[in-house]
Structure 1
Amino acid sequence: MRITVGNFLFRTRNALFPLLYLTLFLGGQHVSENAVAMLVAGAAIALLGQAIRILTVGLDYIVRGGRQRKVYADSLVQTGLFAHCRNPLYLGNLLMIIGFGVAANNPWYLGIAMPLFFLGYACIITAEEHYLLGRFGDSYRHYCAQTPRLLPRVAGLCQTLDTFAFNWRRVIVKEYTTLCMTLLVLVLLSSRALNVDARGWQVSGGLIALILLACFAVRLLKKSGRLHAGPLR
């Protein structure tokens, strides 16, 4: 059952998951009266998740999104952050989901949307593990025995960071949409939590415009071929 649900969510997550983010802005209730503290704590957690994603993509990369909206892998990547955690990209996503919820200080998101996110990712991970086990067999069993599913193994992390050349170009090309989304959500949540006036919303609007402009510029450079990540695994 979880495998079937996971495959469905893998195909539809780009359409369904953004709908859950809308609950960040529902209602006027708050979990804590200290909105600023919640905002700072949540932003720190979300940015940590984004940093993990950036490290993952910059050190060693797997092709995301599968093939024809189905789980797929050409090879079993076990280096970079994948040597310390089997799902570092999903770990980053989950931290961002938690961070957004804390920053929003919104009981609707924390009580309904966030558990649905966790359940959804649990099903997706199960579906991916089922596929990888069938494709790579004993190699994947050995990898699972040596590497945690989500909570990363810290031992040897410094050596990994020293060993791999960090590919900033690949980060920009492959991660720009997620990074723009993270910054946009944090700007909107900050404006809401700080209860800014009309001038504050002008500043927020300017930041949003700059983020969207940067995203659009990267997309144009990528489509034109002037900006590319280089060979992938």
Structure 2
Amino acid sequence: MALQEELESQGNWLFRRRSLLPLIVLFVGIWAQIFTIHTSGILFSTVLPYWQGYECLCLFISLAGMVIRMYTVGHTPVSTSGRNTAKQVADSLNTTGIYSVIRHPLYLGNFLMWLGIALLTCNIGFTVAFVLGYWIYYERIMYAEEQFLRRKFGDVYLNWAERTPAFFPRFRQFTPSDLPFSWKKVVKKEKNGVFALFLLFSLFDFIVAWQITSVSANPGLCAMTLVSGIGYLVLKYIKKHTRLLNEPGR
């Protein structure tokens, strides 16, 4: 198999299993944090006196990723930029809005969300490994996606890809989105991510409070986790039993 076909095959295989990466990062991250606490890692020892402030910094990074995801999802039509894992889907090619400055905004958003969590472990080795692993993992997925789009949209895709960077935004070429922002779609698609983000931060915060007697659990994180959890359950019920979040074409 030629390298080009092999990379695409690997990308499609990883695409179908991309939901597994968060689980791997989570379990290894928990181990890395506990290991760092017990070995008094340099970063952990430095930030421990300012633990809640450091948590806020990590949370800010993760929330920046969440905002990117929300902005992206809120401006896209149906059957594009989804969470599907079975196969590649693209009924249309997004080239305006955030897609005018970056070709893979959702993966940038995911990266920042998980980077904040990786930094929360205070394990430098784990954080570096996460960055490298994420790049290798998603580079192949992005390659497979772009091969799919290239075959489906031809020159339209090639012209857009030629002027638009894959992962690092080029803000000066921003053009407004063709579609208005849809809060309904964001709420419907991203409610899981918001709750999961606060839940994970609370989990890592609890581990530190459990292992270090001088550190207390962050009440703000606990409150946000509770609120987002209740919101998730309410919105899930609304989505399942009503049509309030439905919007034609979105």
Question: What residue is the counterpart of 2:66 in the other structure?
Answer: 50
1:79-136 deviation digits (Å, cap 9, x = unpaired): 2211111111111011112221112212453143442222111111011011111111
SS at match of 2:172: coil
Task: Pick the aligned partner of 2:75 from 45, 59, 79.
Answer: 59
Cα distance change on mapping 1:65 and 1:47 into 2, 3 Å = closer
Aligned ranges 1:104-183 → 2 under 5 Å: 104-107=121-124, 109-155=126-172, 157=174, 160=176, 165-183=180-198
Task: Pick the aligned partner of 1:81 from 94, 98, 120.
Answer: 98
In structure 1, what residue type is equivalent to 2:184?
R
Question: What residue is the counterpart of 1:11 in the other structure?
Answer: 16
Stretch deviating more after TM superposition (202-211 or 184-193): 202-211
User: Could you tell me whether the CA contact under 8 Å between 2:198 and 2:224 is conserved in 1?
Assistant: no
Question: What residue is the counterpart of 1:185 in the other structure?
Answer: 200
Q: Percent of aligned positions with the same letter in both sequences?
A: 26
Two-structure CA RMSD over aligned residues (Å): 2.7
1:207-229 deviation digits (Å, cap 9, x = unpaired): 54443222122111111133324
Alpha-carbon distance in 2 for matches of 1:203, 1:213: 15
* Structure of larger gyration radius: 2
The answer to whether structure 1 residue 20 and structure 2 residue 25 are counterparts is yes
What TM-score, normalized to structure 1? 0.85
Cα distance change on mapping 1:182 and 1:138 into 2, 3 Å = same
Q: Which runs of 5+ in 2 are unaligned?
A: 1-5
The answer to whether structure 1 residue 211 and structure 2 residue 218 are counterparts is no
Question: What residue is the counterpart of 1:99 in the other structure?
Answer: 116
Question: What residue is the counterpart of 2:3 in the other structure?
Answer: none
Q: Stretches of 4+ moved more than 3 A in 1?
A: 111-114, 190-210
In structure 1, what residue type is equivalent to 2:191?
Y
Shift of 1:203: 7.6
